[in-house]
Amino acid sequence: MFYASGGGGNSIDVVALFSGQSTAAVSSAGEALMAMPPAAVISVRATLAMLDGPKREIADGVANDQYVFWLGSGISRERMPDLRDVAKRVLATLQSRIVAGNPDCRFRKALNAVVVLAQPSPDEWGRTDLDQAPVSWPDYEVLAARLVNNYARMLNVTVDGEQADYLLWNVLNAAHVYADPAIEPDAEHLCLAALAIEGVASEMPTANWDNLIERAVRSLAGTQPVLRVVVAPNDVRWNRLRANLYKFHGCAQSALDNEGQFRDLLVARSSQINGWAAQNPVMAPFLINFIVTRPTLMLGLSAQDSNIQGLFAVAQATMAWPWPSHPPAYAFSENALGADQEGLLQNVYHQDYSPANRPHMEVEALVQAYAKPLLLSLYLYVVTAKLKALIGIGAPGLAPIDRDKLHDGLEQARNLVADGISPNAAIVTELFAQFGRALTMLRNGGLSDPVNGTYSPITTEPLHRMPADMTLSGSGVCQFAIASGLIGLGLARGLWTAAKADLADRTSGAVVLNGRSGPAKIYFAASAQAAIRLGTNGLIADNDDAVIIHSHENPPPMPRYPRRAPGRTGLANIREVSMEALMGGGTEVEDLLARFRNQVAL
């Protein structure tokens, strides 16, 4: 709805901060967390270290689609007006509409009521002239700041002769502001969209009016039916999709498109918030069911609104969560737990909440990273976890020591990516475009397109359902995971370095590896058809210095495809590697890496 907090920056090694439930362990963990960078500046790499270490259960819970993502204004704070700006606009607009010389002016009356909510002292009142523009008031900034914590009461102020939502609809012009088509999704929305496409963010209740998540999903998934948006009670009857967004405080775009049906669903006024549960007999029980049955991850949500607190209070009365629970039943993306989050823990764990348990609960629930670095790190964690699972599906006979080496290779590659990125929209957009390019080449031998989406998931299922997907073992994606693990091992051992593909150059491959023999463009092909299409689509030519890593056997030689002018002449420089053949020659990883290295000739 309205907007306030967030993060990205420095790094720290927190891989093994703490484990166990002893008092000494929790005390040590609390001290370690206090020593971490603030949530607003923690780096992606340091956040990943948290997910690998003390917050591993939460990360695995996300990878298994166990968590419900409760989303608040913090995820859109850099795209939408914050509460102080909202307060200033209310003050300035009401003052500008005062009829000079009319002491009974309805706008003067409303402005006076708003100023009263800022609780000015007698001296401040003496310096506040309602006949002058608020920007000239000596205490303008102070009064606006005080209204931040009173925003719902401020918006509940009425103007004589106007609808109850006059301040929201006519003064703030909220529907147009929050549905402005010129506003692009931020990193948080893009990461949520990618997690949704990967099938691990299936339930997302949100108090926000903007449609930035919807735009992010469209930018990554194109016209594919990935996201269901629920605003009105009847919407809950629609078929569920891979991801489901519940806009329980209304939707600005819906209000613009159909004012008669959706204007009254925009929740902001204190009277609406206080009466929300009684006025929403469909949505309220629907959300309570999430709280009762699935763990909660709060992102950018302060939980200060009484209707949200009421939902959690009813849920604990229905069926409280035991503590400890695995994964943790509550997690908050915050720098520190506030009074409202602590109150939620007290409510939902009430049977086990005690002075002895309280420090454990609070340390467990706090994820000290704001949504930007946390969501990007969760994405990297989930994708890596899926690739690890695919190695097991594609090579079930791997010895544990060999499996672990390939897993280490994947983590090495993941960490190098994390070291080179920060959670801003441009970088995240490029990351997902790079990933989508590689996976689209792998599966189809082509490039991503806006209609079908620029992003292609590893799988559309969460981690725990992947073993039941009988299509994975023959899809070529398992061999892609093994090859990625080998490439990561080579990176860790200094056998080669990696550079990203040039997205502006359709012929630059999926990734570029630099070895002793120089750079080579790397392509992946899940099938013979995909490999053929790399040529027919003009993505690779016979004279390229390139490597095609086939998931299955190498296809027979095909006619040459001189789709573009040769960069040089002479013998073909394309090397083709069959992962199926390599694995058939033995799965001991050191030997496998040596044979892989020999065939890619880097």
Q: What tokens were used for 250? A: 């209304």
115: in domain: yes
Whether residues 136 and 198 share a domain: the answer is no
- Domains in the chain, number: 3
Reported as type and span, the H/E element at residue 194 is helix 187-197
Backbone angles phi and psi of 471, in degrees to 5? -85, -15
Q: What is the pairing mode between strands 511-515 and 546-550?
A: unpaired
CA within 13 Å, CB half, 61: 20
382: in domain: no
Any idea what DSSP says for residue 321? P
pLDDT of 17: 32
Whether residues 530 and 596 share a domain: the answer is yes
pLDDT of 37: 78
CB atoms within 10 A of CB 20: 10
Residues of the chain with pLDDT below 50 are 2-26, 28-29, 32, 561, 563-571
What is the rounded CA–CA span in Å between residue 599 and residue 308? 59
- The boundaries of the domain holding residue 211 are 57-79+183-369
The separation between CA 334 and the C-alpha centre of its own chain, rounded to angstroms, equals: 15
Whether residues 470 and 493 share a domain: the answer is yes
Whether residues 71 and 155 share a domain: the answer is no
Whether residues 153 and 242 share a domain: the answer is no
Which residue, 554, 447, 425, 421, is CA-closest to 502?
447
Whether residues 490 and 350 share a domain: the answer is no
578: in domain: yes
CATH at residue 301: 3.40.50
What is the rounded CA–CA span in Å between residue 413 and residue 44? 14
pLDDT of 31: 53
Whether residues 329 and 437 share a domain: the answer is no
Whether residues 193 and 152 share a domain: the answer is no
Q: Phi/psi class of residue 549: alpha, beta or left (left: φ > 0; alpha: ψ in -120 to 50)? A: beta
CA distances to 88, 143, 275, 280 from 117, rounded to whole Å, are 13, 9, 21, 28
100: in domain: yes
Note whether 241 and 221 are within 8 A (CB).
Answer: no
Last residue of a domain, one of 174, 208, 232: 174
Reported as type and span, the H/E element at residue 498 is strand 497-500
449: in domain: yes
Last residue of a domain, one of 140, 174, 208: 174
Sheet holding 227-230, edge to edge: 227-230, 243-247, 203-206, 68-71, 296-299, 330-333, 366-367
What does pTM read for this prediction? 0.91
Q: What is the pairing mode between strands 243-247 and 203-206?
A: parallel
547: in domain: yes
Whether residues 555 and 429 share a domain: the answer is yes
Note whether 153 and 306 are within 8 A (CB).
Answer: no
451: in domain: yes
Which residue, 535, 416, 533, 550, is CA-closest to 480?
550
Whether residues 148 and 263 share a domain: the answer is no
pLDDT of 554: 85
Note whether 179 and 219 are within 8 A (CB).
Answer: no
Which residue, 436, 456, 380, 68, is CA-closest to 226?
456
pLDDT of 4: 40
Whether residues 545 and 490 share a domain: the answer is yes
The separation between CA 474 and the C-alpha centre of its own chain, rounded to angstroms, equals: 30
Last residue of a domain, one of 326, 351, 369: 369
349: in domain: yes
Whether residues 137 and 234 share a domain: the answer is no
What is 532-585 written as a DSSP string?
A: HHHHHTTS--TT--EEEEESSSPPPP------S--SS-SS--EEEEEHHHHHHT
What is the rounded CA–CA span in Å between residue 529 and residue 590? 31
pLDDT of 34: 53
